[in-house]
Amino acid sequence: MHGGSRLPARHRRSGARWPTALAVLVVLVLIGGGSYALLAHRAPARISHRPPAGRQPSGAVPVISKPAPATVSITWVGDMTFGMLNAWPPDGTGSLLDDVRPYLHSSLTVGNLESVLGEEPVTKCSPGETDCYEFEAPPSTAADLRHDGFAAVNVANNHTMDAGVAGEASTDAALRAAGLAWTGRPGQITYLTRKGIKIALLGFGPWPYDANALDIPAAQALVRTAKRHAQLVIVLEHLGGEGPTYRHVQPGEEYFLGQDRGNSIAFTHAVIDAGADLVMGSGPHVLRGMQWYHQHLIAYSVGNFSGYNTLGLDSYTSVSAILHVTLTASGAFVRGSITPLRLAAPGIPQRDPAKTAVSFVNTLSQQDFGGNGAVRLTAGGRIEKPAS
């Protein structure tokens, strides 16, 4: 009975633990394996699909904000004279513009220089000739205009040759020395760049010593040439009869003192058809109406700007304006306005608090153009955009 089938007590206890340990090990393996399996099949950690700041979601249509189109501001004044030979303002020609200087600053400020610059003898008028006037200002006038904000002037007018060829040369020399551009000589196109926009300026008048406005096909050809080399083309015209009886824009040729002063409507429409983006006028020495033509602005005349002892100061010739226009690089009209002026004796421009020019322009525009593109100004002088 004490056969060898019974193990010693210590072996019996030790052997009894093996099945238990093995069972525990199996359980742990199963649990561990299950845990691994659970971990292996657990849903992946949540990934945020919110894009970093400044980036669009991968599936979203990107929103691209278009930059505002580049624009250029243009300021235009009408006829400018500064006296006659040896009869100049004692404080200099620059003193004449003290009151209006704040309204002359823009990307491109231009005026009609109806005067020779220099000290050459005037030669246009014969002794005793009536209805003939000769204007000449000191060479320093060019630097004064540059200081006042002007970038360029139109020289296509009937006073270009008041001192003959010598006066023409002295004018060009004074302008060049002051860094002031000019336009209006036969065949001349003046290019300037403002705010990255290349601009062509062309001046025209009905005289053979200027770019000739009477030859409309030639004027159109010059505009087309300018359009091939510039983004914006601005035409400055000096057309029409002079004085209050010529304040209306009439179809057909205008004659004054026996001279053909051009066909304002035919000329301005033709240069726009050829590619001009803006037409600004002078010459009649009075305000005229304004017109939209193919969405482009035509200001036929803004009157006198400066006339020191030279220009009339009646109820019409003393009323004028500064024109302000902003265009895109493609020539689209953005906004515009006028600053109403009244010339005080002896021909000094001043702001007009009564804003007489606003009512003048509105009335003349409606009477002359009516439903054919008449421009309308608000009471404050803002130009209302044309109907598209």
Residue 387: the pLDDT is: 81
3-class secondary structure, 217: helix
So what's the pLDDT on residue 53? 54
Predicted local confidence at residue 55, as pLDDT:
55
Beta strand pairing call for 190-194 and 181-183: unpaired
Give the pLDDT score at 85. 76
Q: What is the CA radius of gyration of the chain?
A: 40
Q: What is the pLDDT of residue 128?
A: 80
Which residues make Cβ contacts (< 8 Å) with residue 340, sequence separation at least 6?
319, 321, 351, 352, 354, 355, 356, 357, 358, 381
Q: Give the separation between CA 79 and CA 110, rounded to whole angstroms.
A: 11
Mean pLDDT by 10-residue block, N- to C-terminus, for the chain (388 residues)?
41 42 39 38 43 55 74 97 86 90 97 96 87 91 96 96 96 98 98 97 96 98 98 98 96 95 98 98 98 98 95 94 98 98 96 98 98 97 91
Is residue 356 within 8 A of residue 342, CB to CB? The reply is yes
The reported pTM is 0.83
pLDDT the model gives residue 57: 54
Q: What are the structural domains, with CATH classification, of the chain?
A: 71-369 (3.60.21.10)
| Alpha helices (H) along 98-242 | 140-147, 164-178, 216-229
Rounded CA gap, 227 and 99, in Å? 37
364: Cα within 13 Å, side-chain hemisphere: 24
CA distance 190 to 185: 10
